[in-house]
Structure 1
């Protein structure tokens, strides 16, 4: 591992920020931007947007067996969410690179759900995902650090498994293109794919968006998206850990494993923005930096302006620093008001003109909001058992790419266009995986621009 960092926009877009390059320009062909239309145009084309029915439990059916790949906290949580989503559901296999993660997962599944996973169905190593896929499962839950997601999604589709994949779906454009190709193939095979960004499965968010897209506060003109919170966890290096073990155990602080927090965490809010706008930016201008992080190579904060083909602009900013003001803003600006995507509409004077009912004080089950982490699995299991195939893989791949576009703009200090990031040869991380030395990973944040000289 190295301790120096120097990059330029040209080098960053043509090669990896860490290790290796890949000649994958145009590997999937041109990916068109989604079209956006006004509320009046939408009504002319097909009437007002309707809210789909959301079940609070998946229908009964034959036993569905699931395997979990990635047994950390989020993976274990996803396994429990799957089991809570309906009847006749089982977790039957576990895979991770660390035995202690598998042991902790098994203990929690036993404690919370009285589920016991036999030793012969617990697989350790970088190839454990292949063994999980070959263990007789119907569904796979992909919850490793996102660097590994493209290869795992591709293998799951090849194995004809239904997929839950945690967000984000990649850390670099090479991975995004690989996921897009895989989920397109999944569509042709009638496989169901659900991603873990949660808001598109959350009833209060869905109803708020339905009202905005139906024109209740006019046409969308932009968005202001903020997520400020405290620092995430980190692991200090132990003498007995190799480079690889250190980075994997501290994955949320290394860009090649997590994509930095603009991609790993802020994707939730940026995905909400994309969901509303129905189109992707043509250019990103960004800035950011690091003041407090003590391990890894990532930033503490980002601020990104996205430009769209109609001249619209959106602003997205995120921070992970303790001791600062925290808060989340998901504001969609419109001609006659603005929306809080979590459940409120305002007029231009800031007066609330509609609010999603407080479910704690409202006995009407129509407004009940199921835990969105469980609702995703309800939707997945329901689709499998009814034959009404669902696949949000492309949407999540595009949202991942929008976050990467902003990250590269901030890292380099240069504007980045959609075409550049879509076709960039960036590949983050090593090409082979062993618990040993990892050459070329820089444990220092990228520095934008050039060094000032006297």
Structure 2
């Protein structure tokens, strides 16, 4: 689910850095979601992303019942940190901002209102396709790292010839990977699975 859900948290990290990672390595696997209905995806990923300036983004996500659950971002910088949503503080712990957003309008609705308004006016104000593609690539690179157990560099991931897409899009098209006679799909094995 690193590509399907956790990508949004990775996108926030990229936005905060105003950059995209140049390499990633990580661990992941399937411990709980192992049935036929889950296909071949891992149920947990932990990835360390590195940016060109040497800074790091640490990413953890999982799908496991009855475990501690947190979906958020925190940031640590030279001149301060944002340890939780709405809080910015100095290295000594002095709080510069403590915003209680409970009375704020729904940010998803605000985003849609602004986008729809721009479309209705014929304005081209929200050109986020490149950022979306690069955040998607960030998630793909993380998945490649956890599935393979290898250090994956951005350019190598971007130029990989691995395709998970069908040869054609149609209801009767054969998927690129099929289940075995028991209905189970092949699962990535770190150290064995090739992604480049």
Which category of TM-score, normalised to the shorter sequence, fits these structures? 0.7 to 0.9
Q: The residue matched to 1:263 in structure 2 has which SS?
A: coil
For 1:274 and 1:352, locate their aligned partners in 2 and report how far apart those are by CA, in whole Å.
24
Q: What is residue 396 of structure 1 aligned with on the other side?
A: 132
Q: 1:346 to 1:328 in 2, by over 3 A?
A: farther
> Please, which of 24, 32, 45 is the counterpart of residue 302 of structure 1?
45
For 1:277 and 1:288, locate their aligned partners in 2 and report how far apart those are by CA, in whole Å.
25
Q: What is residue 338 of structure 1 aligned with on the other side?
A: 81
Q: The residue matched to 2:3 in structure 1 has which SS?
A: helix
> Please, which of 44, 47, 60 is the counterpart of residue 317 of structure 1?
60
Q: 1:306–1:313: 8 Å Cα contact kept in structure 2? A: yes
Please give the TM-score of this superposition, normalised by the length of structure 1.
0.38
Whether 2:28 is the aligned partner of 1:282: answer no
Whether 2:111 is the aligned partner of 1:376: answer yes
Q: CA deviation at 1:450?
A: 4.1
For 2:48 and 2:145, locate their aligned partners in 1 and report how far apart those are by CA, in whole Å.
10
Whether 2:187 is the aligned partner of 1:445: answer yes
**Bigger Rg, which one:** 1
Could you report, residue by residue, the CA deviation over 1:308-351 in whole angstroms, capped at 9, with x for unpaired residues?
A: 21211221111110011111331111112211463111232445
For 2:21 and 2:176, locate their aligned partners in 1 and report how far apart those are by CA, in whole Å.
35
User: Which is richer in helix?
Assistant: 1
Q: CA deviation at 1:274?
A: 0.5
Name the Cα RMSD after superposition.
2.2
* Paired residues for 1:16-415 under 5 Å: 261-293=1-33, 294=35, 295-340=38-83, 342-360=85-103, 369-389=104-124, 390-415=126-151
Please give the TM-score of this superposition, normalised by the length of structure 2.
0.83
The unaligned stretches of length 5 or more in structure 1 are: 1-260, 361-368
Could you report, residue by residue, the CA deviation over 1:145-195 in whole angstroms, capped at 9, with x for unpaired residues?
A: xxxxxxxxxxxxxxxxxxxxxxxxxxxxxxxxxxxxxxxxxxxxxxxxxxx
Aligned residues: 183
Q: 1:276 to 1:326 in 2, by over 3 A?
A: same
Could you report, residue by residue, the CA deviation over 1:245-280 in whole angstroms, capped at 9, with x for unpaired residues?
A: xxxxxxxxxxxxxxxx10110011110000010111
For 2:174 and 2:123, locate their aligned partners in 1 and report how far apart those are by CA, in whole Å.
47
Q: The residue matched to 1:405 in structure 2 has which SS?
A: helix
Q: CA deviation at 1:387?
A: 3.6
For 2:174 and 2:134, locate their aligned partners in 1 and report how far apart those are by CA, in whole Å.
33
Q: CA deviation at 1:449?
A: 0.8
Could you report, residue by residue, the CA deviation over 1:181-211 in whole angstroms, capped at 9, with x for unpaired residues?
A: xxxxxxxxxxxxxxxxxxxxxxxxxxxxxxx
For 1:307 and 1:438, locate their aligned partners in 2 and report how far apart those are by CA, in whole Å.
33
Could you report, residue by residue, the CA deviation over 1:4-46 in whole angstroms, capped at 9, with x for unpaired residues?
A: xxxxxxxxxxxxxxxxxxxxxxxxxxxxxxxxxxxxxxxxxxx
For 2:173 and 2:122, locate their aligned partners in 1 and report how far apart those are by CA, in whole Å.
45
For 1:399 and 1:441, locate their aligned partners in 2 and report how far apart those are by CA, in whole Å.
28
